[in-house]
A and B are shown apart, each in its own frame.
Chain A
C-alpha cells in the first residue's frame, strides 16, 4: 500500500507527499489531523525503484525542486514546506 488514507471532513482531494524522517513533514501531517480534514499521504522514502521515481515525477509536477513536504490541494494548488497559515487558509 503506497498511499495511506486518513478519514475526516471532505474538503476535496488533499494529497501530502512526505518523508517518514522529516520533521516538517510530521508537523504538516499533524496539522492536517488537527484540522480534521480527509487526506491522503505518501512516504516517498519508503518506496523503491520505479515506484519512487513515479512518485518523484508527480511531486516535481507540483514542485520542481522535488522537496518535502509538498501538499497538493484539490489538484490545483500546492503548498511547499510547513506553511501553517497558508495550509489553514486553503482548507478553511
Chain B
C-alpha cells in the first residue's frame, strides 16, 4: 500500500470519530469541514508512514519516543486553545470560534525548536520531592491534565483517550 494515498472512507470514518470524541470531551473541531478533513487526511498519512498520528502541521522525526508531545491531540492543544482559540493546526478550536463568535489567526509554535527539545523517556518523573510519603504515585496525562493516583497510569486516559505512554509521573 502506498502510504501517501489515504482512502476517502478512512478520512470520513476518522473525522466522525474525532468529532464524537471532541463533543463528548468538551472540545470542538474546526467547523470548516473541508479544511478539517484535509488535516484528518494528514493525520492518517502520518499514521501510515510513521506508525503514529503525528501533528500534520509539524515535522515528525519518525521516532515515536521523540514525538510523543506532538501525537494528536498534542500536549500544546489545551494551552493554545486557551490563548489563541485554536490548536496549532486549527483542527481543534475553542467554543467561541466553533460558534463563529470569534476568529483566529496563526498560532505561534509552542513546541521547542529541534535544538531545545528535551528527550524524555515515555513515562518520566516530574518531581519526587515533597509528597513522597503518599501511598500511591500520582500520574498526569500530558494531553489533558487528568490526574490519577494508582500504581501505573491507565492504558487509556478516561478523559481524552490519550494512550498510557503519554502520562508522566506528577507526584
Partners in one complex: yes
A residues with CB within 8 A of B: 19-26, 44-45, 52, 56, 60, 64-68, 80-83
Contacts of B109 on A, CB cut-off 8 Å? Answer: 65, 67
B contacts with A, residue count (CB < 8 A)? 25
Q: A21-B56, A45-B60, A80-B106 known; 4 other A-B pairs, CB under 8 Å?
A: A19-B57, A21-B42, A22-B58, A44-B59
In the complex, A64 Cα to B113 Cα: how many Å?
Answer: 7
Answer whether residue B114 sits at the interface, using C-beta atoms and an 8 A cutoff. Answer: yes
CA distance A23 to B56 in the complex (A): 8
The listed residue (B41, B45, B57, B106) touching A83 by CB distance below 8 A is B106
> Which residues of B from 9 to 44 have beta carbons under 8 Å from A?
35, 38-39, 41-43
What total of A-B pairs shows CB separation below 8 Å?
Answer: 65
Report the 6 A-B pairs with minimum CB-CB distance, sorted nearest first: A21-B42, A81-B106, A21-B56, A67-B109, A22-B57, A65-B109
| A1 CB, nearest partner CB in chain B, Å | 15
